[in-house]
Amino acid sequence: MGKEISFIYSLSPELRDRLRIIAQKDKGKITSFVVQYEALIKDHWHPIVRYDTSHGFAHRDIMHYNGKKDKQPIYFPDYNFAFTFAIQDLKSLWIWYRAGFEREIRQ
């Protein structure tokens, strides 16, 4: 039986940006995961970008303010690499992802 890892990681000092991380791990290998960037905008938490394995493959969902999602497969040798990439991508680019989402709100 595997182990579940689940935590919230704050990205901004104002606590308005966070990563929600959930992963199943078995014998040192990630068997499934969700890494989601969420932003507090207008007093509501919005999912902005989510990496997950919910459809049997690693992919990124870009969420839009109008409710649409863009699904983009990501290609790595295994889920360990994909999981690490997801966390690093969102830690380094969350400001850019937030700016794009806020632009959609203003349109």
**Could you state, in order of their start, the residue ranges of all structural domains in the chain?**
3-106
pTM of the model: 0.94
Tokens describing residue 88: 């690093």
3-state DSSP call for residue 29? strand
Cα–Cα distance list, 59 to 81, 95, 105 (Å): 12, 20, 25
pLDDT at 80: 97
- pLDDT tens for each residue of 2-34: 899 999 999 999 999 999 999 999 999 999 999
